[in-house]
Amino acid sequence: MKTAAEPPPPVAAPPESGYGKAGDRVTAAVRELIASGGLQPGEHLRQDVLAARLGTTRVPVREAFKTLVAEGLLVHRPNQGHYVAKLTSGELAEICWLRDTCENRLAQTVEWPDDEALEALGAINDAMRRIRSPAYEIVAADRRFHEKLWALSPLRIVAQEARRTWALIQPYRSFMSYEPATVDRMHREHAAITAALRARDLDGYADAVRVHQEHVYRVVEDLAERERAQAH
């Protein structure tokens, strides 16, 4: 897979104000490091090294590891330690299908947004279009747009699962090459989704979401090609 043209943004060190709150901040910081490519799929993580990197102690890092193992972003190997989850192309295809299933259900149960929410969606979409690199920032903007969509449904558990599966996919998306034409296409599809919401067209909205989902499988194809190359 192609590497982003620029390094991922730094992650702010979480201030210590109680281990529970620090643990939440470290968890969020590690999620973003994984999403941005600051931590690579399959990378071995050491609590002391990561604590020093984030400017914290090992206790909140240990808490974060437990949470991220439960989410599937990290795996724990007995007597070896913690690793960033590394998916095969087949596993990634399953995760994409799960995300699509959650998004489709959320689309079917949408509660129509007001003008202010629609304007917020348009602003996020326009801001994404102005980003040309690095890939991580484009994908992060796309995520913010989708999170706004998920919040329009009352199905909180389904929305939470959409976020979890998105987090598993994002590291692989962040290493793709996003040409201007690709970003423009994403912008048009977002605009079609927003237009269907504005028209309160449920069928049109669900269809626009499904059309937009199809392109994520390029990530699966890219990973499959890399697997084939490594096998020879």
Q: Which fold has domain 89-231?
A: Four Helix Bundle (Hemerythrin (Met), subunit A) (1.20.120)
**Fold of domain 19-84:** Arc Repressor Mutant, subunit A (1.10.10)
Region 89-93 average pLDDT: 96
**Where, residue-wise, is CATH 1.10.10.10 in the chain?**
19-84
The model's pLDDT over 171-189, given as tens digits with 9 standing for 90+, comes to 999 888 899 999 999 999 9
Numbered ranges of CATH 1.20.120.530 in the chain:
89-231
**Long-range Cβ contact pairs of 72-79 (< 8 A, separation 24 or more):** 72/164, 72/168, 73/30, 73/31, 73/34, 73/167, 73/168, 74/45
Q: What is the model's pTM?
A: 0.83
Higher pLDDT pick, 6 / 110: 110
Distance CA(6)–CA(11), nearest Å, equals 15
Q: Which pLDDT does position 21 carry in this prediction? A: 86
Q: What percent of the chain has pLDDT over 70?
A: 91
pLDDT tens digits, 118-134: 999 999 999 999 998 88
Interval 2-11: pLDDT, tens: 444 444 444 5
